[in-house]
Amino acid sequence: MRIVFMGSGELGCPAVERLLASPQDELVAVVTQPDRPRGRHLRLTACPVKQLATSRGVSVLTPEKCAAPEFVAQLAALRPDLIAVAAYGQFLPRALLDLPTHGVINVHPSLLPKYRGAAPIQWAITNGETETGVSIIYLIEKMDAGDILAQAHMPIASADTTATLSPRLAALGAKLLLSAIEDIRAGVVKRTPQNDALATRAPMLRKENGRLDWSQSAATLHNRIRGFFPWPGCYFVWPHDSAKRVKVLKASLETGSGEPGLILKTAAHGLIVATGRAALCLAEVQPEGKQPMSATAFSNGARLRVGDRLG
């Protein structure tokens, strides 16, 4: 089949690799977001999918808006049998959904209808889920609500972060995508409508979502730190300067109790902080504008003492 792939994030890279390796399919083009300023120096940088496709000699299209009539015409000229999507970053208009012979399918890293939205991996970890997975669905105009072609489950380990879970889901998604394409080619696809009554949301993350609320339980805070790593990151404000943020990169559950936010102990393995229920050991932090460091080194440098309160 003639396939167009649309994706920008790292979730799409294993899928591109699998499509390129498929002897029965032709990857006629890859569509990604335009280059964006990235990094500390805000240099224009291609997304991971574009970098991969370019290195493999695949034609790459980077429309500012995929709904633009000129882009739809450009894609139509490629005569795709199927469009596959993974973390593309734009809603596809009806004109694109109706274009390929076999429709448009999407790789979504959750067990739909749970966690519809832009950040399913992050919210699954944040909400304390012990299992997630990947769904292959037909795209429709309603977000992540199309019929399911295939699903696969994956456990979430207690130490998993978004950074560790995402690559595993990307690999699983690529494998499942190729399996779904084979079913489409063979004409044996089973479409399962989603139950909208069971749908939950996974909205886009913002920096302000990362502020730690010490009145919550240690388990809740620990899950949030794992789910929001590496971006946007969870943070508290400096006890002696509320304008300074300190990101928490690694933490663990600890015994102890006290007024939420109060430093209970400074130990070799970290900074023990009271929460709404039990305590949290901060192991690695990153003060604003500085490199990551152990929480102990931060505590010593900031001259934090038992009884100080983190904001």
CATH topology of domain 207-302: Methionyl-tRNA Fmet Formyltransferase; Chain A, domain 2 (3.10.25)
Coil, helix or strand for 106?
strand
Query: Is the four-CA dihedral 207, 9, 134, 97 of positive or negative sign?
Result: positive
pLDDT of 192 higher than 80: yes
CA distance 242 to 210: 15
CA distance 87 to 41: 25
pLDDT at 10: 84
50-73 residue pLDDT tens? 999 999 999 999 999 999 999 999
Query: Is the four-CA dihedral 104, 107, 111, 116 of positive or negative sign?
Result: negative
Q: What is the mean pLDDT of the chain?
A: 95
CA-based radius of gyration for the chain: 22
CA distance 214 to 259: 9
Residue ranges covered by each domain of the chain: 2-198, 207-302
pLDDT at 135: 99
Please tell me the pTM assigned to this model. 0.95
What CATH number should be reported for the domain whose range is 2-198?
3.40.50.170
Say which range, 60-64, 235-239, 289-293, has the weakest mean pLDDT: 235-239
Say which range, 87-96, 233-242, 252-261, has the weakest mean pLDDT: 233-242
**Element containing residue 248 per DSSP (H, E):** strand 241-254
96 φ, ψ to 5°? -80, -40
| Token representation of residue 260 | 């939420």
Query: Is the four-CA dihedral 267, 299, 292, 255 of positive or negative sign?
Result: positive
